[in-house]
Amino acid sequence: MSSDQQGWVLSRHGYQYFKFGKHAILLQWPDEVGSDLLHRIINVKRHIQKEEIPGIIEVSTGYKSLTIFYKPDIIQASQVLDFMESTDFHQYDISKISDPVIIDVVYNDAHALDLAFVAEHLDLSVQEVINIHTAPVYDLYFIGFLPGFMYLSGLDKRLFIPRKEVPRIRVPQGSVAIAGGQTGIYPFESPGGWHIIGQTNIELFNPFKDPPCPYPPGTKIKFRRIHP
Amino acid sequence: MIEVIRKGGEIRIVDMGRYGYREYGVPISGAMDLRSAARANSLLHNPVSFAVLELTSPGHELNFMHDTTIGITGAEGNIRVNSNKIYTDNVYQISGHSRLTIGTLSKGYRLYIAVQGGIKSSTILGSQSPIPGLLNRSLRKGDRVELSRSDLYPSISSSITALHIETKRKLGCYPGPEWFHLDRHNQSALLDNAYYIDNKSNRMGYRLNGIPIISDIVEIFSSSVMPGTVQLLPNGLPLILMRDCQTTGGYPRILQVCEEDINQLAQRRVGNQVQFSLLIE
């Protein structure tokens, strides 16, 4: 542990860990954000979940991090860390190429409030924006910001655009949007600052289902243009 | 049943929160002052997980339509059942058709009312608390809260003590993951400064006013946040995340307020002072 990184400790597994308050341990990898790291993080998450350790409530992930939430009256941080250090995180068979989930999107004026603006701003035609957006297979990194909001990787650099200067008060449910080098779908109506380029009717969050979201982190996703 | 006759601030049905769904982006929610909510139940020997009413700021009036027993905790002030003054951290038997009014509050900001046998409302993903932004069930004038009249629940011994509200107490904090991104000068400035709760504060987070920290620390790759996480905003001021906060965030997490003092903060209102102190292990 170096003195200029107070509290962070290097694990033999290559990540650093940090006691985040009294209920959580944060793991953070130095690796670049990408598919490889995503699968390593999901692998660690599955190992922890599979053990069903009493006192560990849940595990959530970020771009290059994983957080273990525990109940300190049932398990101590040191016991969680002992488990982590003594576990062999051998690879699960999750790296195999799985077929992407196809999400149908309507990219037309009525549902794509900012599509024309985006095209003009990026010096592309509307058709080019659509082609570029539907070309890649995106990785679902994690869900956050709103219940069911998927953080996706792999937006083409040609579609990098800053957030709107004034966020919309109401972004409709199912809006497909881009901003800040990312693309995403609003799972329900909410305020939002991303540019809306399309619309999907896929259900991304249903609190009356358990689990409430259809796709777990690690899912591969592709957008397909449909005509209404 | 309990009917909402008049509303000051918000009235909500809350419990200990929603766990196990953070990986789907679902906030924990639950009572802002968890300790007082749990205490209200424990006064009645209810399980602490029972839902209670959370009444924020003064100006409420409730009509208790049937005989019941309540435990009342949290803020103190001019609280009456019909014309009789009642006191926080006590149990009262309420007879049917009584009016409970909450006038000015002398200490604290949120009151909790537990009802013997509990409150009936739908449980969604394991909790009766609203899901922020989606199932945002703040009660309205005329709403009726159904009571559970079950006596089947086993009595449990009350072990939860009342929160002693101290409006000026410094909030005890652990270093956050990005604390070390601040240089020593900024670290001590943050601990020396007095901040004041901004009027844009809500159940997701308390914004603070005060002297901004001037630093060049940058956003991080979105990672976990939780109630009590203190983020440093680009304007140099801290934001303290509260019970309804989102599950991930990109602002540097400089401190983590200890659980006990999140409850203290929940009892403060706009304009009240906030200071941080570092808890040394």
- Kindly state whether B177 is in contact with chain A, defined as any CB-CB distance less than 8 angstroms: yes
Category of A64 on φ-ψ map: left (φ > 0), alpha (ψ -120 to 50) or beta: alpha
Please state, for a pLDDT cut of 70, what percent of chain B lies above it. 96
Q: Is the pLDDT of residue B280 over 70?
A: yes
Closest CA to B33 of B160, B120, B139: B160
Measured distance CA(A74)–CA(A171) in Å, rounded: 42
Residues of A in contact with B21 (CB under 8 A): 58, 147, 211-212
Asked if residue A4 is part of any domain, the answer here is no
Asked if residue A38 is part of any domain, the answer here is yes
Residues A151 and A64 grouped into a single domain: no
pLDDT per residue, tens digit, chain A (228 aa), is: 344 578 999 999 999 999 999 999 999 999 999 999 999 999 999 999 999 999 999 999 999 999 999 999 999 999 999 999 999 887 665 555 578 999 999 998 788 999 999 999 999 999 999 999 999 999 999 999 899 999 998 899 999 999 888 889 899 999 999 998 899 999 999 988 999 999 999 999 999 999 999 999 999 999 999 998
Nearest-CA distance A6 → chain B (Å): 6
Burial-class residue A167 by CB neighbours within 10 Å (0-12, 13-18, 19+): exposed
Asked if residue A25 is part of any domain, the answer here is yes
Looking at residue A110, its pLDDT comes to 84
Question: Between chains, do B222 and A63 touch, taking CB under 8 Å as contact?
Answer: yes
Residues of A in contact with B124 (CB under 8 A): 207-208
Asked if residue A211 is part of any domain, the answer here is yes
Looking at residue B21, its pLDDT comes to 97
Per CATH, domain B2-147 is 2.60.120: yes
Residues A159 and A116 grouped into a single domain: yes
Domain boundary pick from A34, A58, A86: A86
Residues A58 and A159 grouped into a single domain: no
Residues A114 and A219 grouped into a single domain: yes
Q: Which residue of A has its CA nearest to B249?
A: A145
**A198 in Cβ contact with A192 (< 8 Å):** no
Beta bridge partners of B221: none
Residues of B in contact with A68 (CB under 8 A): none
Burial-class residue A52 by CB neighbours within 10 Å (0-12, 13-18, 19+): exposed
CA geometry: angle at B145 spanning B141 and B146, to 5°? 155
Looking at residue B130, its pLDDT comes to 94
Looking at residue A3, its pLDDT comes to 45
Asked if residue A210 is part of any domain, the answer here is yes
Q: CB neighbours (10 Å) of residue A145?
A: 21
- Select from B24, B175, B176 the Cβ nearest to the Cβ of A213: B24
Between B134 and B95, residue with greater pLDDT: B95
Measured distance CA(A3)–CA(A7) in Å, rounded: 8
- Select from A6, A65, A210 the Cβ nearest to the Cβ of B223: A65
**A140 in Cβ contact with A150 (< 8 Å):** yes
Q: CB neighbours (10 Å) of residue B228?
A: 26
Looking at residue A1, its pLDDT comes to 39
Q: Is the pLDDT of residue B229 over 80?
A: yes
Question: Between chains, do A207 and B124 touch, taking CB under 8 Å as contact?
Answer: yes
* Least confident stretch, A141-150, B75-84, B210-219: B210-219
* Range(s) within chain B of domains with CATH label 2.60.120: 2-147
Looking at residue B232, its pLDDT comes to 95
Q: Which two tokens mark B160? A: 């939860």
- Kindly state whether B234 is in contact with chain A, defined as any CB-CB distance less than 8 angstroms: no
Residue with tokens 């089947």: B152
Residues A43 and A133 grouped into a single domain: no
CATH number of the domain enclosing A27: 3.30.1360.40
Domain boundary pick from A39, A56, A86: A86
Helix (H, G, I), strand (E, B) or coil at B261: helix
Question: Between chains, do B258 and A21 touch, taking CB under 8 Å as contact?
Answer: yes
Residues of B in contact with A28 (CB under 8 A): 177, 223
**B107 in Cβ contact with B169 (< 8 Å):** no
Domain boundary pick from A54, A86, A118: A86
Asked if residue A72 is part of any domain, the answer here is yes
**A59 in Cβ contact with A48 (< 8 Å):** yes
Residues A135 and A206 grouped into a single domain: yes
**A74 in Cβ contact with A54 (< 8 Å):** yes
Looking at residue A191, its pLDDT comes to 87
Nearest-CA distance B133 → chain A (Å): 7
ipTM over 0.85: yes
Q: Is the pLDDT of residue B153 over 90?
A: no
Residues of A in contact with B222 (CB under 8 A): 62-63, 142, 144-145, 151
- Which amino acid is it at B222? S
Q: CATH topology for B171-278?
A: Cyclophilin (2.40.100)
Question: Between chains, do A20 and B177 touch, taking CB under 8 Å as contact?
Answer: yes
Q: Residue B113 to residues B130, B204, B263: CA-CA distances in angstroms?
A: 17, 22, 16
Helix (H, G, I), strand (E, B) or coil at A31: coil
Residues of A in contact with B259 (CB under 8 A): 21-23
Asked if residue A214 is part of any domain, the answer here is yes
Closest CA to A163 of A187, A192, A193, A137: A193
Between B23 and A108, residue with greater pLDDT: B23
Measured distance CA(B146)–CA(A35) in Å, rounded: 50
Asked if residue A93 is part of any domain, the answer here is no
**B40 in Cβ contact with B73 (< 8 Å):** yes
E strand or H helix that includes residue A104: strand A101-106
Range of the domain at A58: 9-86
CATH number of the domain enclosing A171: 2.40.100.10
Residues A110 and A189 grouped into a single domain: yes
Q: CB neighbours (10 Å) of residue B117?
A: 18
Measured distance CA(A111)–CA(A106) in Å, rounded: 7
- Select from A26, A59, A207 the Cβ nearest to the Cβ of B135: A207
Looking at residue B157, its pLDDT comes to 55
Choose from A5, A8, A16, A22 for mutation: most chain B CBs within 10 A: A22
Residues A117 and A198 grouped into a single domain: yes
Looking at residue B134, its pLDDT comes to 85
Q: Is the pLDDT of residue B173 over 80?
A: yes
**B43 in Cβ contact with B90 (< 8 Å):** yes
Q: Is the pLDDT of residue B151 over 80?
A: no
**B280 in Cβ contact with B209 (< 8 Å):** no
Residue with tokens 């309990």: B2
Question: How many structural domains compose chain A?
Answer: 2
Q: Which two tokens mark B119? A: 């409150």
Largest alpha-carbon pair distance within chain A?
A: 59
* Least confident stretch, A211-220, B150-159, B175-184, B243-252: B150-159
**How many interchain CB pairs under 8 A, A with B?**
127
Measured distance CA(A214)–CA(A185) in Å, rounded: 13
Residues A185 and A109 grouped into a single domain: yes
